[in-house]
Amino acid sequence: MDYLFSFFRSSDILFQLELLLRIILACFLGYIIGYERKSRDKSAGMRTHAIVSLGAALIMIVSKYCFGDIPDYDASRVAAQIVSGVGFLGAGIIFVRNNMVSGLTTAAGIWTTAGVGMAIGAGSYFIGICAGLLVVFIQILLHRIRFLSAEPVRGYVKITTDHFDEVMTDMQAAFNKDKIKMLGFKINKSKPDIKIEFDLLYPSGYDKNSFLLLWSKDPRIHGISG
């Protein structure tokens, strides 16, 4: 009963409202970060980022303010688990297909979104807001201005042909011309056709689809995919 009376004192109500404001603000910043991810059809979107940021802010508030009745308590112990916990969540977004890694940026964004929520939950509004907007700015800027984040892209090309020697020579010449690095290849000799799988490293900004379309018109190649 005494706790209820103390809760409804004006000073306590204002403090609780401030804590609620922190949670709402953290949720809003997470929503903004998630909106950018969802606009590019990423696996984790607005709801995921908003909930992660909200949860991080809530746990930060609980860690910082809800153990005052325990003498000599360490406010950082609960909050410290957010970093590892969200890291586990981000690992579920990263997947590997054909030796190509996807989801790293989104996973890093979720991890950073948790940091934004922690900053807001701790009451560092300026740092939290600036960090949240900076995340959105980096993701948008580096996506639209390619030369700022240009990097080679690894991929595989599989072809089926009955003119192995000719096609192999011409493909290697095409790779050298377009500055495509051949990391390796596999050959499966199943008559009458031979299947070749190239492990390639494309230069930044290279139009892989145009390359595949061009070679699909070669009558010596019976099938191509990548």
Q: Are the C-beta atoms of residues 31 and 46 closer than 8 Å to each other?
A: yes
Average pLDDT value over all residues in the chain: 80
Give CA–CA dist 150/104, Å, rounded: 16
Residues contacting 119, CB < 8 A, separation 6+: 127, 128, 131
Tell me, what amino acid is at 115?
G
| pLDDT value at residue 64 | 83
Give CA–CA dist 94/42, Å, rounded: 11
Residue for token digits 């000719």?
A: 166
Give CA–CA dist 120/122, Å, rounded: 5
Other C-beta atoms lying within 10 Å of the C-beta of residue 23: 20
- Specify the range with the lowest mean pLDDT, choosing from 43-47, 155-159, 167-171: 43-47
Higher-confidence position of 75 and 176: 176
| pLDDT value at residue 101 | 62
* End-to-end C-alpha distance for the chain, whole angstroms: 69
Report strand pairing: 100-102 vs 193-202.
Answer: unpaired
Eight-class DSSP state of 148: G
Over range 73-99, report the average pLDDT: 72
pLDDT band at 11 (very low <50, low <70, confident <90, very high): low
Give CA–CA dist 29/10, Å, rounded: 29
Eight-class DSSP state of 218: -
Eight-class DSSP state of 163: -
Give CA–CA dist 73/67, Å, rounded: 7
pLDDT, tens digit, 9 for 90 and up, residues 132-166: 988 888 887 776 666 555 667 777 888 888 888 88
Whole-model pTM: value is 0.63
Instruction: Specify the 3-state DSSP secondary structure of 131.
Output: helix
Token pair listed for 115:
């940091």
Q: Is the pLDDT of residue 170 over 80?
A: yes
Token pair listed for 67:
């153990």
